[in-house]
Structure 1
Amino acid sequence: MISIGSRLSAAIGRLRDVVYRVDEKINTSTFGRIFRLRGCGHEDEIQDATFSREFRAGLTTFATMSYIIAVNAHILADTGANCVCKNQTDVGICSNETEYLICQNEVRRDLVTATAAVAGFSSILFGFLTNLPVALAPGMGLNAYFTYQVVGVRGTGSIPYGLALTAVFVEGFIFILLAITGMRHWLVKIVPGTLKTASGVGIGLFLTLVGMSYGNGIGLVTGSVSTPLAIGGCPPEDLYRGECPNNIMQSHKMWLGIFGGLLTAWLMAFRVKSAIIIGIAIVSILSWPRNTSLTYFPHTDEGNSRFEFFKKIADFHPIQHTLGAQEWDLSGGNGAKFAIAVFTFLYVDIIDCTATLYSMARFCNKVDEKDGDFPRSTLAYCTDAACISFGSLLGCSPVTVFVESGAGIAEGGRTGLTAIITGICFLVSIFFAPIFASIPPWATGCTLILVGCLMIRQVVAVNWGYIGDALPSFVTICFIPFSYSVAYGLIAGIFVYTVINSLIWIVMFVSGGELEPWEYNRKEYWTWKPAGRKPWLFRVFTKGQYWAEERLHLKKDGSDVRSIQRQSATESEEKPLEDRFSAASVSMPPRAALL
Structure 2
Amino acid sequence: MGWVHNFNVKVAKSKVGRYFRLEGSGHPRERKGSRFFTEFRAGLATFFAMAYIISVNAIIVSQTGGTCVCPGTAEDPICTKDPEYALCVNEVKRDLVTATAAVAALTSFCMGLFANMPIALAPGMGLNAYFTFTVVGFHGSGLVPYEVALTAVFVEGFVFVGLTLIGLRQWLARAIPHSIKLATGVGIGLYLTVIGLTYSAGIGLITGAVETPVELAGCAPQYRDVDTGLCPPSQRMRNPTMWLGIFLSGILVVLLQMYRVKGAIIIGILLVSIISWPRPTSVTYFPKNAIGNDNFDFFKKVVTFHPIGKILNVLKWDVSSYGGQFGLAFITFLYVDILDATGTLYSMARFAGAIDEKTQDFENSAIAYTVDAMGISIGALFGCTPVTAYIESGAGISEGGATGLTAMFTGLCFFISIFFAPIFASIPPWATGPVLVIVGSLMAKAAADINWKYPGDAIPAFITIAIMPFTYSIAYGLIGGIMSYIIINTTVWLIQIASRGKLIPANKEFKDPWTYKIPGGFLPPWLQRAMKGQKDFWREHEQYAGEDVEYSRDSHSSTEGPHPEKGVVGSGKSIEETSTLPMNKVG
- Normalized against structure 2, the TM-score is what? 0.91
Q: Structure 1 residues 431, 567: closer, same or farther in 2, change over 3 A?
A: closer
Q: Is 1:131 the counterpart of 2:116 in the alignment?
A: yes
**Corresponding residue for residue 430 of structure 1:** 418
Of 572, 575, 584, 1:576 maps to 572
Q: CA deviation at 1:543?
A: 4.8
TM alignment of 1:484-523, pairs within 5 A: 484-523=472-511
Q: Is 1:390 the counterpart of 2:355 in the alignment?
A: no
TM alignment of 1:410-421, pairs within 5 A: 410-421=398-409
Q: Structure 1 residues 581, 483: closer, same or farther in 2, change over 3 A?
A: farther
Distance in 2 (CA, whole Å) between partners of 1:34 and 1:345 is 35
Amino acid in structure 2 at the alignment position of 1:156: S
- SS of residue paired to 1:434: helix
**Corresponding residue for residue 222 of structure 2:** 237
Q: CA deviation at 1:23?
A: 1.1
Q: Percent identity?
A: 52
8 Å contact kept, 1:193–1:372: no
Q: Structure 1 residues 582, 127: closer, same or farther in 2, change over 3 A?
A: closer
Distance in 1 (CA, whole Å) between partners of 2:46 and 2:306 is 24
8 Å contact kept, 1:59–1:425: yes
Distance in 2 (CA, whole Å) between partners of 1:131 and 1:253 is 37
**Corresponding residue for residue 294 of structure 1:** 283
**Corresponding residue for residue 46 of structure 1:** 31
TM alignment of 1:262-301, pairs within 5 A: 262-301=251-290
The superposition leaves residues 3-25 of structure 1 with CA deviations (integer Å, 9 ceiling, x where unpaired) of xxxxxxxxxxxxx2221121111
- SS of residue paired to 1:414: coil
Q: Is 1:140 the counterpart of 2:136 in the alignment?
A: no
Distance in 1 (CA, whole Å) between partners of 2:73 and 2:135 is 16
Q: CA deviation at 1:229?
A: 1.5
- SS of residue paired to 1:491: helix
Distance in 2 (CA, whole Å) between partners of 1:281 and 1:123 is 22
Amino acid in structure 2 at the alignment position of 1:587: M
The superposition leaves residues 414-440 of structure 1 with CA deviations (integer Å, 9 ceiling, x where unpaired) of 001000000000000000000000000
Amino acid in structure 2 at the alignment position of 1:101: A
Distance in 2 (CA, whole Å) between partners of 1:164 and 1:358 is 27
Distance in 2 (CA, whole Å) between partners of 1:193 and 1:346 is 24
Distance in 2 (CA, whole Å) between partners of 1:378 and 1:277 is 31
8 Å contact kept, 2:78–2:141: no
Q: CA deviation at 1:189?
A: 2.4
Distance in 2 (CA, whole Å) between partners of 1:89 and 1:585 is 63
**Corresponding residue for residue 67 of structure 2:** 82
**Corresponding residue for residue 344 of structure 1:** 332
Q: Structure 1 residues 581, 316: closer, same or farther in 2, change over 3 A?
A: farther
Q: Is 1:183 the counterpart of 2:179 in the alignment?
A: no
Q: CA deviation at 1:367?
A: 0.5
Q: CA deviation at 1:89?
A: 7.8
Q: Is 1:21 the counterpart of 2:17 in the alignment?
A: no
Amino acid in structure 2 at the alignment position of 1:162: E
8 Å contact kept, 2:31–2:551: no
Distance in 2 (CA, whole Å) between partners of 1:70 and 1:88 is 30
8 Å contact kept, 2:276–2:285: yes
Q: CA deviation at 1:536?
A: 4.0
Structure 1 window deviating more from structure 2 (164-173 vs 22-31): it is: 22-31
8 Å contact kept, 2:218–2:231: yes
Aligned-residue CA RMSD (Å):
2.1
- SS of residue paired to 1:430: helix
Q: Is 1:373 the counterpart of 2:361 in the alignment?
A: yes
Q: Structure 1 residues 237, 206: closer, same or farther in 2, change over 3 A?
A: same
Q: Structure 1 residues 365, 109: closer, same or farther in 2, change over 3 A?
A: same
**Corresponding residue for residue 15 of structure 2:** 30
- Normalized against structure 1, the TM-score is what? 0.89
Q: Structure 1 residues 382, 206: closer, same or farther in 2, change over 3 A?
A: same
Q: Is 1:171 the counterpart of 2:156 in the alignment?
A: yes
Q: Structure 1 residues 88, 475: closer, same or farther in 2, change over 3 A?
A: farther
Of 185, 198, 201, 2:186 maps to 201
Q: CA deviation at 1:580?
A: 6.5
**Corresponding residue for residue 471 of structure 1:** 459
Q: CA deviation at 1:383?
A: 1.1
RCO (CA 8 Å, sep 6+): is it higher in 1 or 2?
2
Distance in 1 (CA, whole Å) between partners of 2:237 and 2:28 is 54
8 Å contact kept, 2:111–2:117: yes
**Corresponding residue for residue 442 of structure 2:** 454
TM alignment of 1:535-546, pairs within 5 A: 535-536=524-525, 538-543=527-532
8 Å contact kept, 1:35–1:415: yes
Distance in 2 (CA, whole Å) between partners of 1:146 and 1:382 is 22
Of 579, 582, 585, 2:581 maps to 585
8 Å contact kept, 2:102–2:414: yes
Q: Structure 1 residues 160, 474: closer, same or farther in 2, change over 3 A?
A: same
**Corresponding residue for residue 536 of structure 2:** none
How many residues align? The count is 550
The superposition leaves residues 17-61 of structure 1 with CA deviations (integer Å, 9 ceiling, x where unpaired) of 221121111111111111101111111111210000000000000
Q: Structure 1 residues 411, 541: closer, same or farther in 2, change over 3 A?
A: closer
8 Å contact kept, 1:181–1:537: no
Distance in 2 (CA, whole Å) between partners of 1:436 and 1:531 is 44
Structure 1 window deviating more from structure 2 (54-63 vs 452-461): it is: 452-461
**Corresponding residue for residue 526 of structure 1:** 514
Structure 2 unaligned regions, length at least 5: 534-547, 556-570
Q: CA deviation at 1:223?
A: 2.0
Distance in 2 (CA, whole Å) between partners of 1:96 and 1:313 is 31
- SS of residue paired to 1:577: coil
The superposition leaves residues 98-131 of structure 1 with CA deviations (integer Å, 9 ceiling, x where unpaired) of 2111110110000000000000000000111111
- SS of residue paired to 1:137: strand
Amino acid in structure 2 at the alignment position of 1:459: A
8 Å contact kept, 2:30–2:551: no
TM alignment of 1:314-325, pairs within 5 A: 314-325=303-314
- SS of residue paired to 2:362: coil
Q: CA deviation at 1:569?
A: 11
Q: CA deviation at 1:577?
A: 3.0
**Corresponding residue for residue 480 of structure 1:** 468
- SS of residue paired to 2:356: coil
Distance in 1 (CA, whole Å) between partners of 2:15 and 2:386 is 34
8 Å contact kept, 1:581–1:587: no
Q: CA deviation at 1:243?
A: 1.2
Q: CA deviation at 1:331?
A: 2.2
Q: Structure 1 residues 542, 568: closer, same or farther in 2, change over 3 A?
A: closer
Amino acid in structure 1 at the alignment position of 2:456: G
